[in-house]
Chains A and B, each alone.
Chain A
Amino acid sequence: MYTNRISTAARYNLLTADIQKNEANYVRLTQQLSSGKKITSITDDPISAVNIVNTNRQLGQIDTFNQNTQMAMEELDTLDDLMELATGYLQQAWDKGIQANNGTYGHASLEALKTEIDEITKTMVDLANTEYNNNYIFAGANTKLIPFEIDQYGNITYSGTKQDNPDYIRQTEVADGVFEVINTTGDKIFGYYEAFYTDASNTTYYAKKDDAGNTKYYDKDGNEYTGSVDDLTAHENSSGVMGALKKLSNAIQETMDAQDAKDSDALVAAEEKMRATMDLFSESHNDIVTEQTKFGGVYNRLEMTTSTLETNTENLTSYLSSIQDIDLASAASKWMQAQYTYQASLQVAAQTMNMSLLNYI
């Protein structure tokens, strides 16, 4: 009773099922071909889907690192140019100092020289206050505060982050968790200069010459010191090229004063001071060149990073394409095959559906 028996309805069902299978396959391949993507939903191929998401994320990260590296290289370029200029001015001032030291200059020449040194000092301060992208580049972390100021007493003060404070750094991320420091502090490159006096009670006073040429002493609120000059102790803090420039300027002034006063002992002392500043120029030149070299090294590392990032991007992009994009040639041929299969099943169904004994009785 049950052997080899096929009901008419079963025959139709089988035909329909086959047609539908072929149609579904054909529709799926059509969608692939028209979208150009192997998978359109994450359930089509879970492993590829996760790989695609991860790769896209990595590519996004690499793009960020690349941008960071480019911007860092541009800033380091500017930094290098500025330090180059600084050494240039330093060299000029040094030459002037050597000239002043040859002992044959009279008052008028020394006056002219001092004016030039003071001009170079102002230029150096302007240089040190350069802004890059709205940040004071030599201020450490105090990026919105102007780092160098010459006050009324001739002191060159630095108000950026000090070089021994490790929080001066500004960094850029060039790889996962890898940060490069791209700034330095003004006191390291340029130094500073401060001259002041303290009395017995440790109050600070600053010296200033009035119009008549007399030295008067004022505290930080501007009140004049009324005590005796002998009770005051002199202090001088200086470093770097600012220190050198200021000390040279002061020494030239002292030399001129000694020449005017025809005080030979003071003259010898003043000329000694002038000679001593030459060493300071040499040291501060080394300081700047050392920093330049250091940042040169950083720049080279960033260049290597750029090429590594480019290689990674290429590799990831081609990997992404291999898992995501269809191979047009093979997809097109599969699609044609599916089309033929579907057509064939339709034709066969049309022919066999009508066959029954009714045709012959």
Chain B
Amino acid sequence: MNLLSSLNISAGALSVNEKAISVVSHNVSNMNTEGYHKQRVNLQARNIAGQIGDNPYNQVRANGGVKIANVMRYNDDYLNNYYREQLSQKCMLEQQLGNLDELAGIFDDLEGTGIDSALSKFYEALNNLQEYPASSTARTNFIETAKTLTGLMNEKSVQLSKLTGEAVGDGSSEESLENSKIFVQYRELNNALDELAAVNKALQTTQTGTLTANNLLDRRDLILHDISQFVDITVKENENGTVSVYTGDQALVKGSVVTGKLDIETAKHYCDDHGIIYPDNWTGENAVISIVDADGGKIVDNANSIITGGALGGLIHSATDYNNGTTNAGTVQNSLNKIASTLAKVFNDLNTRENSYCIDPTNTNHLKATNDNNWIFACYDASTGTETTSGITAANIKVSDNLLTNDGIWNLSCAYFDDPSHYDINAVGNAQNVVAMLETRNAKQADLNGQSIEEYYTSLLGKIASAGDSARSLYETQTDVVDSLENQLDSAYGVDLNEELVDLVKYQTAYAAAARVFSTVNSCLDTLISLGR
């Protein structure tokens, strides 16, 4: 009787060790698989139930050999959550840094090709004009530097818009939204949400008892890590291994159902739907993310303020001026616009003020009174097709047509008479108005926070530079944190080849031993059977 049970025990041991070796084999083949959690066979002695009383033979009878209690999956949920948090943060910083690096690239004034040197040359030409106010060469030269300056401002504006457009679209065209980074990411996020729901469903049908579906759980955790890259999430685990994912208070996935997908639209589309005038009354981002339910009905109309972490959070907020001291493409665009409009105002005021005089093109030895439309800088009003000086921005500033005609150079008002009684029509050498223009170089402008034009631009450069610098250090620090967490996670549940090999030898020995016991018991049985012959 006991020989047969020994046979069973050995057979059981062979089978258990086979299975243990197959788990080792599974671990080893998944050594380099991303997100694989090592599995370990937990062996348990098999106990055969029955009263023992005082009979030692009953104790022997209770021994049933070995069985597999469970296959444990190495895991650390606390570490997983913490890792996802930090990963979200890192991806957000990555998007912000990428944006700031490109921004710094646009304003690289170190080589002397930026707006700062164009402004310097502009003032130098002005200085030359002050020496020779009646010289056509000096006037032409000044107008050329003004054209260079406005051209450069237009160009930088275009580059800024392109930068914003690449990140979040330009706010009104569907095409630019579809080509932007944020569109790609929002689509990937929705795909990941769908995948998670599918895995949850599989878990529901698979993990029906107390034991875990290890490989499905691996897959689930990997998808959760993916999702956390796009948006910061909180994860709640349900029974049977399914999870619910929340961003802010909004549930994105509950069990096997995607309860909140993301949808994205241009700001213009959003404004049209809500009766807001775009772009005049819209102060938000160029794209609006909303959360919709499975049927497409809106749960949250404008989720931009909820989504603050992850790559989506970093991108969506990367180009808007929130007036809170951060530097991004939006604030830089606004600052450039301020510079353009202040420059235009200051010089137009001086060129058109009373008692200032330009030169008569029909007789260039005579002065001519200026008028209110004698502008230096202007922009085109698309609705009327004419020039105007209201609404000048860095993107549309240009040298006024007034100065670009054949006789346009004579329209620069260089002469000015403090006391009108000193006026002399022959005084073409009077350059007092140009002296006033030169004084604007150091004059503090109220519109520019009490700084001069050049000071304001330099401080803008400083802001961009230090924002980029600090973002880079934050990103590098965060990368180090994430890297060290990844190592910790690896330590917690990665496959160590040496460990597996030791286990392999362990189970192989046990298998060989069990086989040996089996053959020994077999020969005992033979002996027993041959006893009766």
Give the number of chain B interface residues (Cβ < 8 Å): 72
Separation in Å of the B28 CB from the closest CB of chain A? 10
Top 5 A-B pairs ranked by shortest CB distance? A7-B494, A43-B468, A143-B429, A46-B465, A10-B490
* Binary contact track B60-101/A, C-beta < 8 Å → 1, others 0: 000000000000001010000000000000000000000011
Instruction: State whether the Cβ of B364 lies closer than 8 Å to any Cβ in chain A.
Output: yes
Instruction: State whether the Cβ of A229 lies closer than 8 Å to any Cβ in chain B.
Output: no
Nearest CB to that of A176 among chain B residues? B442
Instruction: State whether the Cβ of A133 lies closer than 8 Å to any Cβ in chain B.
Output: yes
Nearest CB to that of A172 among chain B residues? B131
B116 touches A53 (CB 8 A): yes
A68 touches B127 (CB 8 A): yes
Q: How far does the alpha carbon of A49 sit from the alpha carbon of B114 in the complex, in Å?
A: 13
B124 touches A165 (CB 8 A): no
Additional pairs, 20, CB under 8 Å, beyond known A7-B496, A8-B496: A8-B497, A9-B31, A10-B494, A42-B108, A42-B464, A43-B464, A45-B465, A49-B461, A50-B458, A53-B110, A57-B117, A141-B415, A141-B429, A141-B430, A142-B426, A142-B429, A143-B134, A159-B426, A170-B431, A177-B439
Give the number of chain A interface residues (Cβ < 8 Å): 60
Interface of B is mostly: helix
Nearest CB to that of B426 among chain A residues? A142
B478-533 residues with Cβ-Cβ distance < 8 A to A are 483, 486-487, 490-499, 501-502, 505
Q: How far does the alpha carbon of A57 sit from the alpha carbon of B131 in the complex, in Å?
A: 21
Task: Collect the chain A residues with CB atoms within 8 Å of residue B364's CB.
Answer: 144
Task: Collect the chain B residues with CB atoms within 8 Å of residue A226's CB.
Answer: none
Separation in Å of the A240 CB from the closest CB of chain B? 20
Task: Collect the chain A residues with CB atoms within 8 Å of residue B130's CB.
Answer: 171-173
Separation in Å of the B72 CB from the closest CB of chain A? 10
A118-169 residues with Cβ-Cβ distance < 8 A to B are 133-135, 139-145, 159-161, 165-167
A157-196 residues with Cβ-Cβ distance < 8 A to B are 159-161, 165-167, 170-173, 176-177, 179
Task: Collect the chain B residues with CB atoms within 8 Å of residue A44's CB.
Answer: 469
B219-239 residues with Cβ-Cβ distance < 8 A to A are none
* Binary contact track B392-422/A, C-beta < 8 Å → 1, others 0: 0000000000000000000000010111001
Of the listed residues B109, B135, B464, the one surrounded by the most CB atoms of chain A closer than 10 A to its CB is: B109
B132 touches A133 (CB 8 A): yes
Task: Collect the chain A residues with CB atoms within 8 Å of residue B429's CB.
Answer: 135, 139-144, 170
Instruction: State whether the Cβ of B8 lies closer than 8 Å to any Cβ in chain A.
Output: no
Q: How far does the alpha carbon of A37 sit from the alpha carbon of B392 in the complex, in Å?
A: 38
Instruction: State whether the Cβ of B462 lies closer than 8 Å to any Cβ in chain A.
Output: yes
Which of the candidate stretches A106-114, A205-213, A310-318, A353-361 sits at the interface with the other chain?
A353-361
Task: Collect the chain B residues with CB atoms within 8 Å of residue A39's CB.
Answer: 110
Known: A49-B465, A54-B458. A64 touches B127 (CB 8 A): yes
Task: Collect the chain B residues with CB atoms within 8 Å of residue A358's CB.
Answer: 497, 501
B107 touches A42 (CB 8 A): yes
A42 touches B104 (CB 8 A): yes
Q: How far does the alpha carbon of A5 sit from the alpha carbon of B497 in the complex, in Å?
A: 11
Of the listed residues A2, A10, A171, A358, the one surrounded by the most CB atoms of chain B closer than 10 A to its CB is: A10
Instruction: State whether the Cβ of A333 lies closer than 8 Å to any Cβ in chain B.
Output: no
Instruction: State whether the Cβ of A31 lies closer than 8 Å to any Cβ in chain B.
Output: no
Q: How far does the alpha carbon of A68 sit from the alpha carbon of B472 in the complex, in Å?
A: 45
Instruction: State whether the Cβ of B275 lies closer than 8 Å to any Cβ in chain A.
Output: no
A13 touches B465 (CB 8 A): no
Q: How far does the alpha carbon of A131 sit from the alpha carbon of B105 in the complex, in Å?
A: 51
A171 touches B435 (CB 8 A): yes
A9 touches B430 (CB 8 A): no
B496 touches A49 (CB 8 A): no
Q: Give B contacts to A, CB under 8 Å.
A: 31-32, 38, 74, 76, 100-101, 104-105, 107-110, 112, 116-117, 120-121, 123-124, 127, 130-132, 134-135, 364-365, 415, 417-419, 422, 424, 426-432, 435, 438-439, 442, 454, 458-459, 461-462, 464-466, 468-469, 472, 483, 486-487, 490-499, 501-502, 505
Q: How far does the alpha carbon of A42 sit from the alpha carbon of B100 in the complex, in Å?
A: 11
A28-69 residues with Cβ-Cβ distance < 8 A to B are 37, 39-47, 49-50, 52-54, 56-57, 60-61, 64, 68
Q: How far does the alpha carbon of A49 sit from the alpha carbon of B105 in the complex, in Å?
A: 13
Nearest CB to that of A60 among chain B residues? B120
**A10, A133, A144: which contacts B365 (Cβ < 8 A)?**
A144
Q: How far does the alpha carbon of A273 sit from the alpha carbon of B415 in the complex, in Å?
A: 44
Separation in Å of the B412 CB from the closest CB of chain A? 16
Separation in Å of the A145 CB from the closest CB of chain B? 4
B464 touches A57 (CB 8 A): no
B124 touches A41 (CB 8 A): no
Of the listed residues B117, B121, B429, B472, the one surrounded by the most CB atoms of chain A closer than 10 A to its CB is: B429
Task: Collect the chain A residues with CB atoms within 8 Å of residue B107's CB.
Answer: 42
Q: How far does the alpha carbon of A64 sit from the alpha carbon of B74 in the complex, in Å?
A: 74
